[in-house]
Amino acid sequence: MKKENSRIALLLGSPRHKALWVFGLACVIFLFTLFSFTLSHKPSQLSPIWFPSAIMMAAFYRFPGALWPAIALAGIAGIVGATSLYSPTITLLYPLTNVAEALIGALLMRRWLTREDPLQTLHDWTRMAIASALIPPLLGGMLIGGLAPEGTKWQSLLVWVLSEATGALALVPLGLLLNTLFFKRYRRSPGELLPFLLTATVTLILSVLSLLYLPWPFTCIMVLLMWSAVRQPRCEAFLIFLVTIMTVLTLTTQHPQVLHMIENTLNGYALNDLPGLPFLMVLLPTGVMSIAIHAVESERRRIIESETRFRNAMEYSAIGMAVVDTHGQWLQVNKALSTFLGYHQDELYQMTIQQVTWHEDLPEELDKLNQLLNGDIDTYTLEKRYCTRRGDIVWALLVVSLVRNDDGTPLYFIKQIEDIDDLKKSREANKQLMARITLANDALFQEKERLHITLKSIHEAVVSTDNQQNIIFMNPVAEKMSGWTQAQAQGKPLLQVLHITYENDGFVINGLQQEDNHGDNSEQDQVLRNRHGDRFDIHYTMTPLNTQEGVRIGFVLVIQDVTESRKLLRQLSYNATHDALTRLPNRSNFESQLKGLLKLLPGSHQSHALVMLDLDFFKAVNDSAGHAAGDALLYEIAILMRSLLRPSDILARLGGDEFGFILRHCTTEQALHATQRVVDAINHYEFTWAGRAHRVGASAGLTMIHEHNAHLAQALVQADAACYASKHDGRGIVTVYTLNTHSGDQA
């Protein structure tokens, strides 16, 4: 529905298009009003079915409120124009009543129905019928009946309500469902039109024959329309309903014997003054049938999609998955489980879980399964062993849940089986390794002093301190990095010798972190500045030094010079967030900055502008001068755009010839002026390559982001839609996307 509203906004963007659309709506209402009048057998009688109110109701529902006065004027003009051909006296009472009914019905439907797909279920259809065919006709009927002469009030009320309700049930569902996708579908696949036309033709012919030659013709017509509802989608079915009803109504007017038959039938029930009643009784069940069939088909598609998703998720899962019945029989297994156990899937279907479970682990699993069946637990996780086809014993992590019927009856188990055989083996190896390490720990402690000499030859800076972090020892690398010799630093506080700051703000670190478990306490952005002014990016580890009894005697600080590696990381980070050609931020960087900006909007009363810009005729430069020329042009355009924007504005290349920028802290007029200046500069920019001048243009779409429009995806869609409108409306322009009216204002 949002896409449809955007299309309508673009279509009705200019006053000329609006005037043509209003005139067309007035003509449609005039023709349908004229048709309704032809059904009246006496000038003083009300029509048995009335369409204008339904047409205006659908228009009020579908179009934005700004167009409602024009819709009302078109409706009044169409009704008055048709009335003037049938009656010398014209009153505005009936047209105004029709407009009021249409407005009330549209407001109720806008409140009760979803805009994306208004008629999905029978509940939606019932709400639509109440909002369009019950409440507005009753209100209008009470007004008209109250003004009718004495003795005819009740009759006027009934005829008015039936004619309005029948027209609403015949036309409003079609008005809600009919959209551009209906026509696009048949334009893309003309072959699909033949079944629809064939169903419509058969329904019309058999309905006419039933009315002329069969007893109880409306029963036959109702059956035929239900047959159409079963064979065709909702929109096509309601279109067949409308055409069939109009054809039958025309036949009753042209053949007096048909009208006489209807009157005789109704006369038996004292309803001979209500000729529109049979048509209402036909439309009610057929409309219900069409929506019911649609709901059933939608549910069927949803179930199929759900089953497909489950089947694909299971089949392509990286871990083993299976469906097992309550007796342990494999019902469904995926490829991962088949590979893990070494059996073909068809072989597993002939086996049970007991046959592939290691006998020592079977009692525990059966106990867990019984707890699941009894409802004591909802799921369980278990490490167990399986026997493969080759006879190997392998470990797996098993997660089991139970699926029950609506009445609580157990249906089957869902099992997830993850291969942890290598993990279990590595755990055993680690245990053995830790035992060996424990035995060797005493020997390593005795070698600790010998390592003191080794520290002098390693490439990291090593500093040893006492408990008060006064320096005791520095190796040559530490002397070089700090600018202090060991003799100079001996006994001095550690942070007096090592001047360590945070790189981003230069904040001096007053204390180095330490942990008892020899943990790594470094920060990636820490910098060591020595007494000579040299600067080193560092990575440090501060480890407490304890005796064998656990008494702390000092600390050992190991500092690594990571200047080159951190420089490489910065370069990699920059390359990951910037476009290699223009050196502008790329799409991910741009969206990240936009997301951060959007988070600050709620409660700030600030507004910014998001602009999407596409180069026009860029492909012509690529095709005629080559990709090297195209790259050079993109680079120059990026420089040009950056020079026209403020330093606080964010400019990015989103890909290809698409750019985006954010104008911070501006109004719509300021943003439009700034964007137009960029577009004009590009439109007049002359690019020279190999002695030949080239020109390109630009189309831009602009949307304002503020605390009421602070969703990332929505803002990007709005800007893209506005940019598309610029290209659609002639290129080289700027289109503003307006949130309230969903329309694009061109500049």
By annotation, the residues acting in catalysis are: 657
List helix spans (H) across 316-420: 335-341, 345-349, 353-356, 362-374
Nearest one of 330, 325, 397 to 361, comparing CA atoms: 397
Report the C-alpha gap between 241 and 203 in whole angstroms: 9
Nearest one of 610, 606, 583, 578 to 594, comparing CA atoms: 610
Report the C-alpha gap between 241 and 200 in whole angstroms: 9
Report the C-alpha gap between 528 and 519 in whole angstroms: 20
CB atoms under 10 Å from CB of 76, counted, come to 20
Query: Taking phi first (over 0 means left), then psi (-120 to 50 degrees means alpha), and beta for anything else, what does residue 391 get?
Result: left
Report the C-alpha gap between 138 and 53 in whole angstroms: 13
Report the C-alpha gap between 515 and 27 in whole angstroms: 84
DSSP assigned state of 509: P
Do 325 and 412 contact (CB within 8 A), yes or no? yes
List helix spans (H) across 584-711: 587-599, 618-625, 627-644, 668-683
Query: Taking phi first (over 0 means left), then psi (-120 to 50 degrees means alpha), and beta for anything else, what does residue 134 get?
Result: alpha
Q: What is the DSSP string of 398-436?
A: EEEEEEE-TTS-EEEEEEEEEE-HHHHHHHHHHHHHHHH
Reading the block at residue 101, the tokens are: 């009914």
Give Cβ neighbours of residue 245 (< 8 Å, ≥ 6 apart). Answer: 49, 166, 170, 279, 282, 283
Do 215 and 202 contact (CB within 8 A), yes or no? no
Reading the block at residue 616, the tokens are: 């026009």
Do 352 and 413 contact (CB within 8 A), yes or no? no
Report the C-alpha gap between 348 and 354 in whole angstroms: 12
Give Cβ neighbours of residue 128 (< 8 Å, ≥ 6 apart). Answer: 109, 112, 113, 118, 119, 172, 173, 176
Do 601 and 707 contact (CB within 8 A), yes or no? yes
Q: First CA to last CA across the chain, in angstroms?
A: 26
Q: What is the DSSP string of 562-620?
A: -HHHHHHHHHHHHHHHB-TTT-SB-HHHHHHHHHHHHHT-TTT---EEEEEEEEESHHH
